[in-house]
Amino acid sequence: MIYLYNLIFYRPILNALVFFYQTIGNHDFGIAIILTTLLIRFILAPLFHKGAHQQAVMQRIQPKIKKIQEVHRDDKQKQTQALLDLYKEHGVNPFASLLLIIIQLPILIALYGIIRSGIGADQISMLYSFISKPDVITHTFLGFINLENKNILLVILAAAAQYIQARMVLYKHTDGSALSPAEKMARQMVFIGPIITLFIFYGLPSAVGLYWLTSSLFSVAQQYIVNQKVNKIFEAK
């Protein structure tokens, strides 16, 4: 298990960081993290795009979900089947957002492990043959932010970007009906998610917060593109 973790996550991320640090990053570890994050997000873009699309569609079919729950309130079996048929019709999975969170966990753990251990002899031995070995790596961003330490500003910016992306997923229905339990929960998570980010990332090296900020900003851009496509699909119906 550890071997697969190192093979799939730790070693590739380590090599990407060192490569960008010594090339495009101009020996700025923060820029190396940003570039590595963008590389990861571009690689995973199709998966995140699908997840963002499904979240947007789920918000727009909430009135149909609520109608099914009302019609079949006394028959849970028919209700479940009707909901499954609705999800299949629109090609959505209500648990897609959880998958996106799970995917990022090993990436966060790998980045935290690299920062905590430093890039010493053990890490240097894990570099690919085509990656030149650095003499020394300083964990600074823009010349004055030490990414090994906590930084509340980066954490706040990461939480703010996460809040914006979560707000973009929500869709305001114009039929005047009351919110369903799922819609209420989604609106609560808009605030709960960023609050959790503040609590968790404040105690971690700011390098991890910089990764989350960059990833969240990427999600904002991706969500905007997805929303435009989903709006056209539902307007055409």
Residue-wise pLDDT tens digits, 154-206: 999 999 999 998 888 776 655 555 566 666 676 777 788 889 889 888 888 89
Residue 17: closest CA among 2, 38, 3 = 38
Q: In which domain, by residue range, is 147 found?
A: 2-236
Average pLDDT, the chain: 82
State the pLDDT confidence band at 20, using cuts at 50, 70 and 90. very high
Query: Distance (Å, rounded) from C-alpha 197 to C-alpha 157?
Result: 10
Higher pLDDT, 20 or 60: 20
Which tokens belong to 224? 């905007």
Neighbouring C-beta atoms of residue 187, cutoff 10 Å = 14
Find the mean pLDDT for residues 100-119. Answer: 80
pTM of the full predicted structure? Answer: 0.82
| Structural domains in the chain (count) | 1
Strand, coil or helix: 37: helix
Look at residue 177 in the predicted model and tell me its pLDDT.
Answer: 57
Query: Distance (Å, rounded) from C-alpha 164 to C-alpha 170?
Result: 10
